[in-house]
Amino acid sequence: MNSMLAAVDLGSNSFRLLIGRIARDGDTAQVYQVDRLKETVRLAAGLGADKTLGPEAIERAISVLERFGERLRSFHPDRVRAVATNTFRVARNVADFLPRAEAALGFPIEVIAGREEARLIFSGVAHSLPPSSEKRLVVDIGGGSTEFIIGNGFEPELMESLYMGCVSYSRAYFPDGVIDAHGMKQAELAARRELEVIAKQYRRTGWKEAFGSSGTGKALGTILVESGFSDHGITRRGLDKLKERLIKAGTVDRAQLLGAKVDRYSVLPGGLAIMSAVFDELGIDSMNTADGALRLGVLYDLLGRDAETDKRDDTVRQFMLRYEIDVAQATRVKTAALNMFAGLVPANTPGFEELERALGWAADLHELGLSIAHNTYHKHTAYVLENADMPGFSRQDQRQLALLTLGHLGKLGKLQALVKTDAQWVAILCLRLAAVLFRRREDLDSLPVTVSLRDRSITVKVDAGWLKDHPLTDFTLRAEESEWSKVGFTFQLLEL
């Protein structure tokens, strides 16, 4: 299975599974699709007015995930990446639903931010198209959100995710599947209002070719061509003709559209309204369709992690530059924290590798908040890391970074409800101790402390002479005893 990778895309309309085989030629790696599954779940349609997922939608999702889980049963966790998009982002009860979903699938599920979704979509589209030196615009209309990306080669330049999708708009403006001129106009106006925020910047940046990806884009392209509304791809004239046909028919099924799939009938009018607004606001006359999308981008991102070119490493380096972080100090703290962590947590502990990587990134970025304010800078660091756009990082990744950096300084009681495992407490301990030991921002020939952990008892042994010469460190380490007792640990400082 080492030559296989799997991507699971949990969208607001459909759940998709893509399995790819890695083919290497020297330093070049290519992913060839060998299996795919798609099931229409309509998860966004299960959102109530209070943004809570209803039980029927949850059960539909669980059933599909169980089937996907059977297909993935022989895969190692490192070879699978499951990402969830807009409905998972907005559902108020996702914290209750997510553990069930992960248990059904058998793998962790990452709820990704809108811009991270956009980055992965562009990667998937770019890898499915012939190389080009020209800028490309990609529009991906999903069930609950629509992503807009302008990029060159494999690198996105502009990325936005707007809260409008084919499921949510079809429910709001075409109830019971009834299509009329008023509903279509209202849906287009609502989409244009969303687009006004980004239209000027996108038109100013410009592009040579435009592509529609995923279900709505590909469905519209097929319908327009097979119904004779367009000679090639999606055109403004073709969209207008399709609108006329649907409004005259009153419903999608009565319109008798060639190329229209039954499973898209209920979401087609909302997707059409959004695409028409996109053409109007961005000044598009024609658009091609692309086979690649989020799931293919996830595969290539997973391939990059496998090849030690993890996008998250690039993002951390960029953040260190942007926030003018003291690299030498970050390196001191990182080296010490990781050394202590490796000695305290067995490598076979579930989630060890990802937590170890998170600890390293947290050490790299733990002083980020100093660029905002020195007072309680760790809180500023945690806020930025949890809320910033960080390419390659899922929301869970970012929450973990925020947790570790928030815990490296100050009171531990505030973390009680946030920490889920003892291994996370150990990572926080290692980062706290490393930050204390290198507070003077000077290199040490060797660490003057050794740390051991048994059950929930922490023992820190330190050279008595060294401690006498460092009274501030002595004071800070002794204060740790009361902090750790607040979260159920004992902390003992022993002088040797």
- CATH code of the domain covering residue 414: 1.10.3210.10
255 plus 188 within the same structural domain: yes
Name the residue with higher pLDDT: 186 or 214.
Answer: 186
CATH number for the domain including 47?
A: 3.30.420.40
User: What does the pLDDT average to over 276-285?
Assistant: 96
319 plus 410 within the same structural domain: yes
87 plus 231 within the same structural domain: no
164 plus 236 within the same structural domain: yes
Name the residue with higher pLDDT: 362 or 47.
Answer: 362
Q: Among the three residues 257, 289, 321, which one is the final residue of a domain in this structure?
A: 289
User: What does the pLDDT average to over 252-269?
Assistant: 92
Count Cβ atoms within 10 A of the Cβ of residue 464 and give its class: 0-12 exposed, 13-18 middle, 19 or more buried.
exposed
Q: Among the three residues 289, 321, 350, which one is the final residue of a domain in this structure?
A: 289
Residue 92 has pLDDT above 70, yes or no: yes
User: What does the pLDDT average to over 36-44?
Assistant: 90
Residue 1 has pLDDT above 70, yes or no: no
Q: What is the pLDDT of residue 446?
A: 87
Angle at 24 between CA 23 and CA 27, to 5 degrees: 155
Q: What is the pLDDT of residue 309?
A: 61
Least confidently predicted of 1-5, 131-135, 284-288, 373-377: 1-5
Tell me 293's DSSP state: -
421 plus 358 within the same structural domain: yes
Quick one: tokens of 135? 């800028």
Q: What is the pLDDT of residue 483?
A: 92
**Is 214 part of any domain?**
yes
Radius of gyration of the chain (CA): 26
**Is 245 part of any domain?**
yes
CB count, 10 Å around CB of 244? Answer: 14
Q: What is the pLDDT of residues 446-483, one digit of tens each?
A: 888 899 999 899 999 998 888 888 899 889 899 999 89
**Is 482 part of any domain?**
no
Count of structural domains, the chain: 3
**Is 412 part of any domain?**
yes
Q: What is the pLDDT of residue 349?
A: 85
**Is 119 part of any domain?**
no
> In what side-by-side order are the strands of the sheet with 490-495?
449-454, 457-462, 490-495
User: What does the pLDDT average to over 50-67?
Assistant: 94
CATH number for the domain including 275?
A: 3.30.420.150
Quick one: tokens of 173? 């403006």
> What's the predicted TM-score (pTM) here?
0.72
Q: What is the pLDDT of residue 159?
A: 94
Q: What is the pLDDT of residues 414-425, one digit of tens each?
A: 898 899 889 999
Residue 407 has pLDDT above 90, yes or no: yes
Listed residue (325, 354, 329) closest to 341, CA to CA: 354
Q: What is the pLDDT of residue 133?
A: 86
Q: Which helix (H) or strand (E) segment is 111 a member of?
A: strand 109-111
Q: What is the pLDDT of residues 381-400, one digit of tens each?
A: 999 999 887 877 877 788 89
162 plus 90 within the same structural domain: no
**Is 28 part of any domain?**
yes
105 plus 136 within the same structural domain: no
Residue 136 has pLDDT above 80, yes or no: yes
As a whole number of angstroms, the distance between CA 83 and CA 81 comes to 7
**Is 117 part of any domain?**
no
User: What does the pLDDT average to over 319-336?
Assistant: 94
* Mean of pLDDT over the chain: 91
Q: What is the pLDDT of residue 381?
A: 96
Across-strand partners of 29? Answer: 24
326 plus 280 within the same structural domain: no
Dihedral over alpha carbons 260, 266, 269, 270 (to 10 degrees): -130
255 plus 135 within the same structural domain: yes
Q: Among the three residues 256, 289, 322, which one is the final residue of a domain in this structure?
A: 289
Q: What is the pLDDT of residue 270?
A: 96
Strand 28-40 relative to strand 155-162, pairing: unpaired
276 plus 200 within the same structural domain: yes
Task: Map residue 409 onto helix, strand or coil.
Answer: coil
**Is 334 part of any domain?**
yes
User: What does the pLDDT average to over 43-68?
Assistant: 93
Residue 171, domain extent: 130-289
190 plus 80 within the same structural domain: no
354 plus 438 within the same structural domain: yes
Least confidently predicted of 48-62, 190-204, 342-356: 342-356
